[in-house]
Amino acid sequence: MAQKFTKWIPAAVVPVVIAGVVIAVPMAANATGSLPDKSAQEVLALVASSNVTALSATFEQTSNLGLPQLPTGTGAQGSGSTAQAASALELLTGNHTARVYADSTNGAENMRLQVLDSMAERDVIRSGSDVWLYDSKKQTATHATLPAKSDAATSAPDAGDAASTLTPDQLAAKLLAAVTPTTTVTVGNDLSVAGRSAYDLVLTPQAGDTLIGTVSIAVDGSTGLPLSVTIVPKGSADPAFTTAFTSISFDAPSADLFAFTPPAGTTVTEQALPAEMAKPTGEAGKGTGRSAGKSADRPVVTGTGWSSIVELNVGTDQSALTGSPLFAQLMTPVEGGSVFSTSLVNVLLTTDGRVFAGSVSAEALKAAAAAAPLAAAPAAK
Amino acid sequence: MSPSNSGVASVASGAAAAAARPRAGWSFLASELVLLFRRRRTWVLLATLAAIPVLVAVAVRLSTARAPGSGRGPAFLDQITQNGLFVSVVALTICVPLFLPLAVGVVAGDTIAGEAGAGTLRYLLVAPVGRIRLLLVKFAAAIAFCLAATVVITAAGALIGAALFPVGPVVLLSGDTIGVPDSIVRALLIAGYVTVSLAGLTAIGLFVSTLTDAPVGAMAATVVVSIVAQVLDSLPQLDWLHPYLFTHYWLGFADLLRQPVEFSSFSSNALLQLAYVLIFGSLAIGRFTSKDILS
Amino acid sequence: MTAAAPELAIETRQLTKTFGRQTVVNNLDLAVPRGSVFGFLGPNGSGKTTTIRMLLGLASATSGEVRVLGQELPQQLPGVLPRVGALIEGPGFYPFLSGSANLIRLDSADRFASPATRRKRVADALERVGLTHAAGKKVKAYSLGMKQRLGIANALLTPRELIVLDEPTNGLDPQGTREVRHLVRSLTDQGTTVFVSSHLLAEIEQMCTHAAVMRAGNLVAQGSLDELRQTGQTRIRLVTPDAQLALGVLAGLGLAADVEAPPERGGASADPQLIAPLPEEVAAEQIVEALVANGVRVRGFTVAGSTLEDLFVALTGEGFDVAQ
């Protein structure tokens, strides 16, 4: 009977409506009001003049670096340098959601970063000169006191595991520092990020030997705050790394958020700064050298811009690192050492205890290792 | 059987009654709830769910008594020893992947197929309860069961936790500490989150239940669907599909244990579940209203 | 109810139901007058229950029209069903609830039924079917007969214009069967139309005013019991050794007789039998007179009015369980 089919009309219409909503809502969100046209230089100037003092935001980081998928929570197991490396790697792979709260109004220097893990959380809390690191899984807290004049943008997040997760604006600041005459900067079509209209600043390295194809930075049209960063490797269409705000508010967060007291039952470690050494897999490949650290471990930067290579001496005793199964899984043995390879960054660990890292090919790293005599490196600690 | 006319009105007044406006029909929903919660099966399900936090708490209590502070096992379990209120959250975490879907599968799969199997469906429809109304009432009662199940786990966990472990301020995932009243509010929020999480599965069970007259088949199919969805959700190759799986946000209630509370997973979950309820609800309506009741 | 109340409580036109290629109900034209006790007769599997399911909106018709209490189905179903009570293919109850709790649940499903009078109506219905003593007992402890009575009680929860009873005496002892008959009679006294299906002819004959006969999905006869009886012919049965002679005499009177071979038992009555329909204008005594006058030895002569049984056997081609 014909009326039998009419009974199925809702069942046919509802999925179509839902599919329509699923497709239309993001499109409507993207159909933002057009921003006044700006040249690349004007957008760069907008970023430079950005003066956001308070924000509460959530951002998502998606990595597709060609690394094996690490089991979630790898970082919680093991100990020592293996655990450190695994933890850092875990943050570099897969997807992560984090929240950031910052308030530097009235001279306060408050910041809190929360990496939202499944059933766990890693926090970095900075309140004035006090920095706390908290890991709910390990139930550990680390406290450090910053020296009086510290660079808030780098010191606090660099201090621990959560450091490997950078907010989009922090990462953009590092990347824009790499803008040199070897980079073409263009402005693409307007974007919508976290419900805000943004300029799409596209950086295209012209250096031939870098692995990075393009870097897109979404710059908030009204505040100049970078809202997202997308890195596409050379010769690929899919982003290898994306970090973007999913929601952002420029209201000052509650002051309670920055007042951290380690909860009962937590192992508290007091740490003097500067303490934590840059990790072999840190942000070295993003083209900036580290300035913090003891002189013995100070990295040496060779090359410039996108193809710069960071050299670091980690000492000859690598058994803790090389002996771990994780190491074997990630490293490819090559002549004179082994290579940790991703689509954006390569790291060469030589048998004599040096680390070379950069957004360049493994061959370039080997050449750099051969060019830099071991004698030039300070003695192992 | 007495052929007497006592107490029977004439047909004319029957016609008048039929011409009267129908009532809202809340008494049928009440009847459905009474029916559900009067069944021994419902109580067995709820008691089984309540036993899980008890087992967890007792096991942790015994193992910590033997080896205090060993800190083995999931980090989450450690929290119990410091605060009994955490037993609820741990028990919910354990129940969400399997035990709750099992219980919900039994109740949701039984909704229509159970009535058909018992031969009561034809009498309800002739009574008459409209077919769409029957689906709505059955769905509402199944959701009530989901709420009862999560509240039972939460309450049983809080009680056994209070009995075996110290109770005090609760440490959140963010490392911040909140007081007992605030923690009770969070526990109830979590129970609400889990209830909402189960709405999609309930709608799927309702739809499956309209496909068959064998309640056991509908129950099994519903549970299998929930397991398949969780397996798909764990395959990284299918990550494009994950946000659309009704199981995707099932463990997202951890976001309610952060400071400040992260509500985005709550709203994503609610929207996703709503979509599942609408889709499978309309499928159930399409199927049930066009179906010949031959049981 | 307006004065324009239609004559028919149930009316179907060309009602057809097919499952796949199988036609279960074929072009059914039912006409159930208001106030009648309508027997719906047919062997098991002849399509009775499927027809009842279509009359109650449980199954949809493949084609054809259904009007119940003057309303078009299935469009007017929500308005019709509260005025109809039904027992469909055996009772169906929640075994873990008591008899009265079962009725309360089914009554609460009816949005037209008043909650205020619910308990009273349930108690009255249970009393009418003689289940007052078992009202608080769980249904799983009921016998089949008690469940059957509870099913009938459900049909009586509110005053109904039409009551459909599908095989109401299934599982009942002779006493229970008698009680059902009385109950049906009391319902018609109030003006309720009762539609009873059965595969038992005796049951229908004893309580119905009208009947319809189904055979393999087709309606083969329909009308009041008197009309149905008249459909059959009155016949004479003559036992005589002089069959050829008798044939001639009967032909002279305008009767076309068939000769039946003598019963195989043989013995004294091993004479052929002649059977012929009796025309209305010929009186039986006239025939005997003519036979005797022509020298036919009449050893037996009967005039048989047709029974419903004859009719149903003729219509359905198979026997009914006449005796229970």
Could you write out the DSSP letters of every residue in A264-303?
TT-EEEEEPSS-PPPPTTSSGGGT-----S-GGG--EEES
Cα radius of gyration rounded to whole Å, chain B: 23
Q: How many residues belong to chain B?
A: 295
Over the range B83-109, which residues count as b (16 or more CB within 10 Å of their CB) and which as e?
Answer: bbbbbbbbbbbbbbeebbbbbbbbbbb
Distance of CA C300 to CAs C246, C268, C277, C286, C297, Å? 13, 12, 16, 15, 9
Assign C270 to helix, strand or coil. Answer: coil
At residue A32 the predicted structure's pLDDT band, cuts being 50, 70 and 90, is low
Which residue from A minimizes the CA distance to C64?
A: A1
How much is the average pLDDT of A241-258? 89
C-alpha A330/C-alpha A339 separation (Å) is: 8
Smallest CA–CA distance, residue A3 to chain C, in Å, is 10
The pLDDT of residue B200 is above 90: yes
Does B293 touch chain C if contact means CB atoms closer than 8 Å? yes
Q: How is domain A50-182+237-271 classified at the architecture level of CATH?
A: Clam (2.50)
Residue C288 neighbours by CB under 8 Å, 6+ apart: C298, C301
pLDDT-above-70 percentage for chain C: 91
B159 falls in which pLDDT band (50, 70, 90)? very high
Chains near B with 3+ CB pairs less than 8 A apart are: A, C
Taking contacts as CB-CB distances below 8 angstroms, the residues of chain B near A265 are 78, 82, 171
> Are A7 and B258 a contacting pair at CB < 8 A?
no
Report which secondary-structure segment, H or E, holds A263: none
Contact A136 B175 (CB under 8 A): yes
Lowest mean pLDDT among A27-31, C84-88, C91-95, C272-276: A27-31
At C115 the pLDDT is 87
- Of A83-92, C175-184, C247-256, the one with minimum mean pLDDT is A83-92
Inter-CA distances, C30 with B205, C195, C224, Å:
40, 11, 13
Q: Which CATH number fits domain A284-376: 3.30.70, 3.30.310, 3.30.1360, 3.30.1370?
A: 3.30.310
Q: Residue B182 sits in which domain range? A: 43-289
The ipTM estimated for the assembled molecules is 0.83
Q: Are B293 and C77 in contact (CB under 8 A)?
A: no
For A199, the 3-state DSSP assignment is strand
Q: Does residue B4 belong to any structural domain of this protein?
A: no
> Half-sphere exposure of B244 toward its Cβ, with a 13 Å CA cutoff?
9
Distance (Å, rounded) from C-alpha B187 to C-alpha B149? 14
Q: Which of B147, B121, B83 is nearest to B218 (CA)?
A: B121
The residue type at C156: L
Q: Determine whether the interchain pair B10/C191 forms a contact, defined as Cβ–Cβ distance below 8 Å.
A: yes
State how many domains chain B has.
1
Question: In which band, very low, low, confident or very high, does the pLDDT at A381 lie, cut at 50, 70 and 90?
Answer: very low
CB contact under 8 A, C111 and B25: yes
Least confident of A64-73, A230-239, C191-200: A64-73
How would you write B145-195 as a 3-class SS string?
HHHHHHHHHHHHHHHHHHHHCCCCCEECCCCCEECHHHHHHHHHHHHHHHH
Q: Chain A neighbours among B 207-236 (CB < 8 Å)?
A: 236
In this structure, CATH architecture of domain C8-230: 3-Layer(aba) Sandwich (3.40)
Name the DSSP letter for residue A78: S
At A136-183, the pLDDT tens digits run: 888 888 888 877 554 444 444 344 445 456 788 888 887 777 676 778
CATH 3.30.70.260 domain span(s) along chain C: 233-305
Where helices occur in chain C by DSSP H, the ranges are 48-55, 77-80, 99-108, 118-128, 144-155, 174-189, 201-207, 225-231, 243-252, 284-293, 308-316
Contact list in A for residue B204 (CB cut-off 8 A) is none
Paired residues of C274 in beta bridges: C238, C259
Q: To the nearest whole angstrom, how far is the Cα of C60 from the nearest Cα of chain B? A: 6
Q: Which of C1, C25, C111, C166 is most worth mutating to test chain B (most B CB atoms within 10 A of its CB)?
A: C111
Q: Give the pLDDT confidence score for residue C119 in this predicted structure.
A: 93
> How distant, in Å, are the alpha carbons of B202, B249, B289 from that of B208?
10, 22, 14
Q: Does A254 touch chain B (CB under 8 A)?
A: yes
Closest A-chain CA to B287? A8
Q: Using CA atoms of A284, A287, A292, A297 in order, give the dihedral in degrees to the nearest 10.
A: 50
Proportion of chain B in helix, strand, coil states, percent, rounded to 5: 75, 0, 25
Higher pLDDT, A265 or A115: A115
User: Does residue C156 contact residue C85 with C-beta atoms inside 8 Å?
Assistant: yes
Task: Choose the closest CB to B119 out of C84, C92, C105.
Answer: C92
Tokens matching residue A221: 């049209």
Q: What DSSP character marks residue A253? A: P
Q: Is the CB of residue B172 less than 8 Å from the CB of residue B261? A: no
Please tell me the predicted confidence (pLDDT) of residue A88: 67
Contact C121, C112 (CB under 8 A): no
- Among B2, B5, B292, the residue with its CB nearest the CB of C190 is B5
Judge contact between B289 and B223, C-beta under 8 A: no
Taking contacts as CB-CB distances below 8 angstroms, the residues of chain B near C115 are 23, 27
Q: Can you tell me the distance from the alpha carbon of C226 to that of C213, in angstroms, rounded to the nearest whole number?
A: 14
- Does the residue B12 lie in any domain? no
Q: Which chains sit next to C, with 3 or more Cβ pairs under 8 A?
A: A, B
- Residue A349 above 60 pLDDT? yes
Q: Which residue of C has its CA nearest to B34?
A: C105
Q: pLDDT at residue A377 above 80?
A: no
Q: Which whole-number Å values give the CA distances from A154 to A165, A269, A274, A283, B205, in the listed order?
A: 12, 21, 12, 11, 52
Residues of chain A contacting residue C63, judged by C-beta atoms under 8 Å apart? 1
Question: Torsion-angle region of residue C186: left (phi > 0), alpha (psi -120 to 50) or beta?
Answer: alpha
Interface of C with A (CB under 8 A): 60-63, 74
Task: Indicate the burial class of A299 (C-beta count within 10 angstroms; 0-12, 13-18, 19 or more).
Answer: buried
Residue C34: strand, helix, or coil:
coil
Among the partner-chain residues B20, B31, B120, the one whose CB lies closest to the CB of C92 is B120
- CA distance, residue C62 to nearest chain A CA (Å): 6
CB–CB contact B236 A123 (8 Å): no
Report residue C3: phi and psi, to 5°: -65, -25
Tokens of C209: 């005013």
- Of the listed ranges A145-149, B138-142, C207-211, C253-257, the one predicted with least confidence: A145-149
Cβ-proximal residues to B74 (8 Å cutoff; 6+ apart), any chain? none
Angle between helices B215-233 and B199-211 (to 10 degrees): 140
Nearest residue to A59 via CA among A260, A196, A178, A224: A196
Q: In chain C, which segments carry CATH 3.40.50.300?
A: 8-230
- Please tell me which residue of chain B has the smallest CA distance to C80: B18
**CB burial readout B146-171, b (16+ within 10 A) else e:** bebbbbbbbbbbbbbbbebbeeebbb
For C233-305, CATH number?
A: 3.30.70.260
> Does residue B102 register a pLDDT over 70?
yes
pLDDT single digits (tens) C287-301: 888 888 888 888 888
**Could you say which of B2, B129, B292 has the minimum Cβ distance to residue C109?**
B129
Q: Round to the nearest angstrom and report the end-to-end CA distance of chain C.
A: 40
Tell me which chain A residue has its CA closest to the CA of residue B281. Answer: A11
Verify whether the Cβ–Cβ distance C190 to B10 is below 8 Å: yes
- CA C266 – CA C287 distance, rounded (Å): 26
Q: Which residues contact C190 (CB under 8 A, 6 or more apart)?
A: B5, B8, B10, B11, C159
Contact (CB<8Å) B279/A4: no
pLDDT for B135 equals 95
Could you report the per-residue pLDDT of B115-142, keeping only the tens digit for each?
999 899 999 999 888 899 999 999 999 9
Phi and psi at residue A190, to the nearest 5°: -60, 145
**Residue B178 pLDDT > 90:** no
The CA distance from B275 to B244, in Å, is: 10
Q: Which tens digits make up the pLDDT trace of A51-96?
A: 888 889 999 988 887 766 555 444 444 445 555 666 666 777 778 8
Residues of C in contact with A1 (CB under 8 A): 60-63
DSSP conformational letter for A378:
P
Q: Is residue C146's pLDDT more than 80? A: yes
Concatenated DSSP letters for C113-137?
A: S-STTHHHHHHHHHHHTT-GGGTTS
pLDDT at A278: 37
- In angstroms, the CA C192 to CA B183 distance is 64
Q: What is the pLDDT of residue C285?
A: 82
Whether the CB of A73 is below 8 Å from some CB of chain B: the reply is: no
Q: How far apart are CA C57 and CA C61, in angstroms?
A: 9
Amino acid at B37: F
CA-nearest of A281, A43, A85, A65 to A172 is: A43
Is the pLDDT reported for residue B174 higher than 60? yes
pLDDT for A150 = 45
The neighbour count for residue A277, using CB atoms within 10 Å, is: 18
